[in-house]
Structure 1
């Protein structure tokens, strides 16, 4: 995270401008460097804040972070605005210089959020999945699910890639897009069929309740989950945590927000101290790797530092292009 001109004029990037930079954005490398910095206390991750608007008009979540190596700090603002029609949801990230105190970047971060979410799962899969993993499964095929596929396709020598979503059978154009992305992709008719004998299962649904019970798997697999913003949303049963090796993106904040962890802790069936490690531990080799004698679960909730790291990589590309 170097080569930032801290004296350059601040940049304002629209969604289309961000889209133009995405293909060359080093997402996984930026995230890996971020978690290395976090492990070495060269980055700061404050708690996110939720601010309610008066009279039920909506809210805004602020995700903050500080990257000392890059010399930047910043925040992503993600408002939810209640209108007469559909709710307005957007996200904007700002970066400022730790050297000059001046703004460096203000950008639409809707696309960046999808990239950092998928990139985080990909980093976890690269670190946690067995090297001989051959069968990849995706449950849920919205924008985030498709981003996950793009980021994970090159990580292992996948022999089979199965995709299931409840409405996918009725979307021939989306099926064609998936086949164009990778001809190995197979459309499954159910969660059970998609997960049969899978090595890695990516849960990318908008469901607030479980879509997969790890106890039903034919063999131990790595399961990743991003869940949704609903209160206590969870894609696996809370009780299943006790029978899995559990990892997460940030062990100091994930257990307070991940629905299955919150509910399992309340029920007394699992405690946050049983988290084997987070991404900072994994990239710095401070925790044990799974032996796959039982299922492995990786849970991410998203962090401000991820947004800052991706925006920082974007800033480097934009400045270099000028």
Structure 2
């Protein structure tokens, strides 16, 4: 008997609040033990490149996103991503979708959930480092959870004509983060782009992953001066570049991670003290991909 899998090759518009609600529910279920998140796995390819697999279970659905990174000769590497959802009751496939745009959405929404829990109640000034799709998605999602009276963005090629509405353009990353209450790092950099330890106490910095090996948007040695959180405690400290490097160099210990999103959303870890800058690191999780992919099953 043949099975025809619904294939979504172009992500439809998903309401911002629906994505936030789906991820909030998924992380809360993860805290309760009714969802499962396994570490990502990396398979190295014999001719170079790799394929990363992100797996998770929520309720009666299993999801896996596979993301190949395929270096090319004389041109940019090919990077794709596909998410498959299976029923854990029947074992039958429910959905296959191109996860490129889905990854942008779930990454930005995850950062926004963290900002909502970690930023001071009166946080009003936002800085976004980066100007691509990920940066613009981050801006959209954090604006859905907090009201910012001032927003500044920096990108090497960003002009005022290209900037989002009501967003000022900075001349440098350092200028953008000056006096910021929240800083969103949304770059593909493999090296630090700001000095996080120089920020004011209570300032929240979020950082995401890229394909570069051990990529880090802040310096590993800065972690000792920050209050550090991650997306999921069992996986982030080994996979995040700055955390792994800092631990290897004896500059920081994974035991110093103050909390993760499941804990933050269920009040199971301490909130920032306000005495140091705050750093939130996400590496990307299968539970995020699955939670958003399940929204595509709705009629």
The normalised TM-score by structure 1 is 0.87
Q: Would the alpha carbon gap of residues 45 and 218 (structure 1) be closer, same or farther in structure 2, given more than 3 Å must change?
A: closer
CA contact (8 A) 1:25 1:313 kept: no
Aligned 1:31-110 pairs, distance under 5 A: 31-56=23-48, 58-68=49-59, 71-84=60-73, 85-110=75-100
Deviation at 1:315, TM superposition (A): 1.6
Aligned to 1:189: 171
RMSD after superposition: 1.7
CA contact (8 A) 2:120 2:202 kept: no
Deviation at 1:173, TM superposition (A): 4.5
Q: Would the alpha carbon gap of residues 115 and 154 (structure 1) be closer, same or farther in structure 2, given more than 3 Å must change?
A: same
Deviation at 1:24, TM superposition (A): 6.3
**CA distance in 2 between partners of 1:224 and 1:270 (Å):** 18
Question: Segments of 4+ in structure 1 off by > 3 A?
Answer: 82-86
Deviation at 1:234, TM superposition (A): 0.9
1:204 aligns with 2:186: yes
CA contact (8 A) 1:208 1:227 kept: no
Deviation at 1:21, TM superposition (A): 3.3
Aligned to 1:136: 126
Deviation at 1:38, TM superposition (A): 0.6
CA contact (8 A) 2:200 2:277 kept: no
**CA distance in 2 between partners of 1:198 and 1:86 (Å):** 34
1:174 aligns with 2:162: yes
Deviation at 1:239, TM superposition (A): 1.1
Aligned 1:186-265 pairs, distance under 5 A: 186-265=168-247
Q: Would the alpha carbon gap of residues 67 and 218 (structure 1) be closer, same or farther in structure 2, given more than 3 Å must change?
A: closer
**CA distance in 1 between partners of 2:58 and 2:264 (Å):** 19
Deviation at 1:195, TM superposition (A): 1.1
1:280 aligns with 2:275: no
**CA distance in 2 between partners of 1:133 and 1:110 (Å):** 31
Deviation at 1:25, TM superposition (A): 7.0
Deviation at 1:33, TM superposition (A): 0.6
**CA distance in 2 between partners of 1:253 and 1:308 (Å):** 17
User: Which structure dedicates a bigger proportion of its chain to helix?
Assistant: 1
Aligned to 2:140: 150
Aligned to 1:10: 5
Secondary structure class of the residue paired with 1:138: strand
Q: Would the alpha carbon gap of residues 47 and 219 (structure 1) be closer, same or farther in structure 2, given more than 3 Å must change?
A: closer
After superposition, give the CA deviation of every residue in 1:57-77 in whole Å (9 maximum; x if it has no partner): x42211111112xx1002011
**CA distance in 2 between partners of 1:10 and 1:146 (Å):** 32
| Uncovered stretches (5+) of structure 2, i.e. residues with no partner | none
Deviation at 1:219, TM superposition (A): 4.7
Secondary structure class of the residue paired with 1:292: coil
Secondary structure class of the residue paired with 2:144: coil
Secondary structure class of the residue paired with 2:84: strand
The normalised TM-score by structure 2 is 0.94
CA contact (8 A) 1:9 1:104 kept: no
Q: Would the alpha carbon gap of residues 218 and 251 (structure 1) be closer, same or farther in structure 2, given more than 3 Å must change?
A: closer
| Uncovered stretches (5+) of structure 1, i.e. residues with no partner | 1-7
Deviation at 1:154, TM superposition (A): 2.8
Secondary structure class of the residue paired with 1:153: helix
The size of the alignment, in residue pairs, is 296
Deviation at 1:120, TM superposition (A): 0.3
Secondary structure class of the residue paired with 2:162: helix
